[in-house]
Structure 1
Amino acid sequence: MSYNNLLVENNDGIAQVTINRPKKLNALNRETLGEIRQAFAKLEQDEDVKVIIVTGTGEKAFVAGADISEFADYSVEEGKDLSAKGHKEVFDMIANFKKPVIAAVNGFALGGGLELAMAAHFRIASENAKLGLPETSLGVIPGYGGTQRLPQLVGKGRAMEMIMTAGMIDANQALQYGLVNHVTPLEELLEFAEKIAGKIMKNSMVAISQAIDAINANYEDGVNGFDKEIEGFGKSFGTEDFKEGTSAFLNKRKPEFPNK
């Protein structure tokens, strides 16, 4: 499937989804968000895809925010609908995706761009990366999960400061905050992300999917994460991967997971 604003490649089980609007510093418009939703829906059904890496085209920006020109004249109800639709169709979908999603942040990750990166399961940044939520400088607040996911990742106080000042932090500060897991030179970013993806793929993808559900449950209102863990742990015993993993361990060999 071809896209106007995305590049999607699959290489040995690793799918790379690249936001491709270089003239707009890969800013998110309605069309791009729709294409992200379509691409992820297709990748979810593709059994050959095990891990997804999300990045941006070029050396300047991962995603430098949302395309402000599209919603500058929105009404209150239109603004609310824009946020709700984005949550449901894109950002929450990625956060709860059954396969691991890694954000490779290759430059500016601002506003909706940082929110997209935070929806991924974890983040790697290039040394030139700048991250921030500048929405309050426009008279609005983050609307794609920024007020919720940023405090979860960096703590309430730091999130309050970042959102209130509308400022940016560099990659090393993001690493210190725990917003990103690793910082690499720009030219090594994707190779590093692929290396981590390769380590992930050596394990049971069924178990990893259950782990994603259990970890995310801790952040859902009204859901007991410990109960979710117990449920997922029990389900694991009925999988072919569990039989293979335990057999390989007991026989001192490397497992070859069927991912079933």
Structure 2
Amino acid sequence: MNESLITYQLDGPVALIGLNRPDKRNAINDPLIDDLRSAVLRAHEEADVAVLFGHGSNFCAGLDLAEALARATGQIKPPRKRRRHNWHEVFDLIARGPIPFVAALHGAVVGGGLELATAAHVRVGDESLLCGLPEGQRGIFVGGGGTVRIQRVVGTTVMTDMMLTGRLLNAAESLQEHVVRYLVPTGEALNKARELAARIAKNSLETNWMIINVLPRIHDMSHDDGLFVEQLNSARARPPEAEARLRDFVDGKAEKLQRHPA
């Protein structure tokens, strides 16, 4: 992993993964995707939760259009054999891997940046946030999983409007359309994301895995199949850690539930 494009830091059980092309607004090119893959796989092994953020004044401005133009004009030759899109592969490692990801969003979160953000399981935005899908104005179409992830977050109507008109969602609109679940003052998104990641890390690894892997699959199933898969997972043999947590609750030793501010 080239730490000039992606930074990586382990803070206890939380991995901090930073996009580090601030002069290009953290635009995504193939070298960045390769390094992001390495960082995500490292977090899978070392961490219980990961935080994804962008260095500089933006989270991610999406596809590196200079690279896209080079590919469109034949300066970058396509592979001899068709294979899975590298963005799809890496974003799925985030969305359906073994650990939850929290995204800290600020500034531009557009195009591929929004596709990357919606691969995370919890998203925090600050007041500088601007979300958009400018592909329609660039003569291209979303290609990093947006037709699946973004559409399921904001709905077909909102995504269609964003793509056809080039409309940008501000911070309040991003909260309203469920792009983010938490909205904080400018400059505070990363701190809030780290706070949430530390809280998530207190859950059992098994439960976190089921939340991020079973829930989205049940979403795609019929009513009966969803209930069947839910029963299969809830009836699994519980590890000793789960038994200890249940006993603490029954014995009045468990931490009491609290309402945490959004």
Same fold (TM over 0.5): yes
- 1:195, CA displacement in angstroms? 1.6
Greater CA drift, 4-13 or 194-203: 194-203
Letter in 2 for 1:118: T
| C-alpha separation in 2, matches of 1:78 and 1:227 | 43
CA deviations 1:184-229 (Å, max 9, x no partner) are 1123222211221222122222111112111110344799433332
Give the length in aligned residue pairs: 250
Equivalent AA in structure 1 for residue 226 of structure 2? G
**Cα offset, 1:73, TM superposition:** 4.1
The alignment's TM-score, normalised by the length of structure 2, stands at 0.88
Whether the aligned pair in 1 keeps the contact of 2:33 and 2:86 (CA below 8 Å) is no
- What is aligned with 2:249? 249
Q: How does 1:28-43 map to 2 (within 5 A)?
A: 28-43=28-43
What per-residue deviation string (whole Å, max 9, x for no partner) do you get for residues 122-180 of structure 1? 21111001011111111111100112212211112111111211221111101011111
Distance 2:82 2:30 in 1: 12
- In the TM superposition, 1:227-246 aligns within 5 A as 227-235=228-236, 237-246=237-246
* Larger relative contact order (CA 8 Å, sep ≥ 6): 2
Q: Secondary structure of the equivalent of 1:16?
A: strand
Structure 2 residue aligned with 1:64: 61
Residue 10 of structure 1 contacts residue 16 of structure 1 at CA under 8 Å; is this kept in 2? yes
Alpha-carbon RMSD across the aligned residues, in angstroms, is 2.4
Measured in 1, the distance between the counterparts of 2:4 and 2:222 equals 40
**Structure 1 residues 162-177: aligned runs within 5 Å:** 162-177=162-177
Query: Which residue does 2:49 correspond to in 1?
Result: 51
Match of 2:187, SS?
helix
Find the counterpart in structure 2 of residue 86 from structure 1.
Answer: 87
Aligned to 1:258: none
- Report the more deviating stretch, 124-133 or 64-73: 64-73
Partners of 1:83 and 1:187 in 2: CA distance: 36
Tell me if the contact between 1:109 and 1:131 (Cα under 8 Å) persists in the aligned partners: yes
Q: TM-score, normalised by structure 1?
A: 0.88
Match of 2:260 in 1: none
Shift of 1:251: 1.5
Aligned structure 1 segments of 4 or more residues deviating by more than 6 angstroms: none
C-alpha separation between the residues in 2 aligned to 1:222 and 1:204?
28
After TM superposition, the structure 1 = structure 2 runs for residues 129-168 of structure 1, keeping only pairs within 5 Å, are: 129-168=129-168
Q: Which residue is equivalent to 1:3?
A: 3
Unaligned stretches of 5+ residues in structure 1: 256-260
Look up the equivalent residue of 2:234 and give its one-letter code.
Answer: F
- Counterpart residue identity of residue 128, structure 2: N
1:83·1:144 contact (CA, 8 Å) conserved in 2?
Answer: no
Kindly provide the amino acid, as one letter, of the partner of residue 71 in structure 1: A
User: Matched residue of 1:168: which SS?
Assistant: coil
Query: Between Structure 1 and Structure 2, which shows a larger proportion of helix residues?
Result: 1
Task: Identify the residue that residue 200 of structure 1 maps to in structure 2.
Answer: 200
Instruction: Report the residue type matching 1:63 in the other structure.
Output: C
Rounded to whole Å, the distance in 2 between the matches of 1:95 and 1:184 is 24
